[in-house]
Amino acid sequence: MAKREKGGFWVGVAAAILYPLGGLLGGRKYLRADRVPREGSVLLVLNHISHLDPIYDAVFTHRNGRVPRFLAKHSLWNIPVAGTILRGAKQIPVYRGTSDAQQSLRAAHEALADGKLVVIYPEGTITKDPDSWPMNSRTGVARLALQHDGPVIPVARWGTVDIYDHYKKKFRPFPRKKVTYLVGEPVDLSAYRGREESLALLREVTDLLMTHVKDLLAEVRGQQAPDGFYGPRKA
């Protein structure tokens, strides 16, 4: 067990809830988790296949010694108890389609500048791909990745959609499933740093990062990944 970053009271409350909840719903298997740095600024880039993902991702990062800072939709902050825990654990609300939208990226930038680990789902929501491969992603991840020197690490997670599939409205906790993680090497972005920011550059970096995630997911699933990404969607 890695030495953990101190998270405070509310992180402890969240851990006390999420560890047994995730364990009840499914087992966990971590592959190459040693690639997650135990200190310093880190941006973890993950696929998003189920509403259960944050439960398992929070435990995954915490078990590897880090306190995750999630970018999550702001409406969750309005839920009694959950909102209190989210605020206390210093999670980052996302205000899409509003005048406050840029606050999310600013808060994520500040967390990275402060040496924290930030978890981002570039797709913005659970994938609509019928086979649960990554879909076209938003370019905010590229902005975060390019404006900080810390490692940007792709991670693929598979198994949560077998427990709860939102689009098919199926909740299947039994027989007990296994949720598997495969952590990739930090992505080399040196060829992109220092270049003038443009939509084309942000799209290229976003697709590069999600291609790494998709390739890891193909390895976990033991399947050939499709070309490109499910879409289209405006970035």
At the top level of CATH, the class of 9-221 is: alpha beta
Q: CA 181 to CA 31: how far, in whole Å?
A: 6
- Strands ordered across the beta sheet of 177-183: 26-31, 177-183, 152-158, 42-46, 117-120, 68-73, 92-94
**Residue in 48, 40, 71, 224 with CA at minimum distance from that of residue 149:** 40
Count of alpha carbons within 13 angstroms of residue 159, beta-carbon side: 24
Q: CA 232 to CA 97: how far, in whole Å?
A: 18
Domain spans in the chain, listed from the N-terminal domain onward: 9-221
Give the type of residue at 165: D
Q: SS3 for 34?
A: helix
**Cα 31 → chain centroid:** 16
**Residue in 64, 73, 74, 21 with CA at minimum distance from that of residue 44:** 64
pLDDT in tens, the chain (235 residues): 446 677 788 888 888 989 899 998 899 999 999 999 999 999 999 999 999 999 999 999 999 999 999 988 777 788 877 888 888 888 888 876 655 557 778 889 999 999 999 999 999 999 999 999 999 999 999 999 999 999 999 999 999 999 999 999 999 999 999 999 999 999 999 999 989 999 999 999 999 999 999 999 999 999 999 999 998 554 3
Q: CA 213 to CA 210: how far, in whole Å?
A: 5
